[in-house]
Amino acid sequence: MKISLFLELTYAFAILGLTEAVIKPIAKKFIQAKILKYAPMVFDALDPVMPELIAKYDSKELEVIVREEFEELTGEDWSNVNLNTFWQLYDPRKNADKYK
């Protein structure tokens, strides 16, 4: 019984290690590539209206607007995608909070 539990724990830690060391970095690179592919189109769509958006919305609302733009362009759900790569390129959220 103890050996079986030990084997199960060893297997679980091996799977966890594999996920952290291999799968997560691959997924992160995939998401970053997708963001970089669509970022210019999001910029094109939002740049003309960004001054108005910054004046009207706070950072959380701008985050939603950007996610919706990515969803519209890709036809995919972006609600759980980490957009840090996008915000590193262009961050109007900081400006939105300055004026609220």
**63: Cβ–Cβ under 8 A, 6 or more apart, which residues?**
83, 93
- What DSSP designation does 80 have? T
Residue 61: predicted pLDDT:
92
- Domains contained in the chain, number: 1
The whole-angstrom separation of Cα 40 and Cα 62 is 17
Q: Give me 29's structure tokens.
A: 């690179």
Yes or no: say if 41 and 57 are a contact pair by the CB < 8 Å rule: no
Q: Quick check: is 47 in a domain?
A: yes
Q: Quick check: is 2 in a domain?
A: no
The whole-angstrom separation of Cα 99 and Cα 93 is 10
Q: Quick check: is 71 in a domain?
A: yes
Query: Domain residues for 57?
Result: 30-98
Q: Quick check: is 1 in a domain?
A: no
Q: Quick check: is 70 in a domain?
A: yes
Is the pLDDT at 100 greater than 60, yes or no? Answer: no
Q: Quick check: is 4 in a domain?
A: no
Q: Quick check: is 59 in a domain?
A: yes
pTM of the model: 0.64
pLDDT in tens, 26-71: 777 888 888 889 888 988 888 899 889 888 999 899 889 999 999 9
Q: Quick check: is 11 in a domain?
A: no
Yes or no: say if 54 and 95 are a contact pair by the CB < 8 Å rule: yes
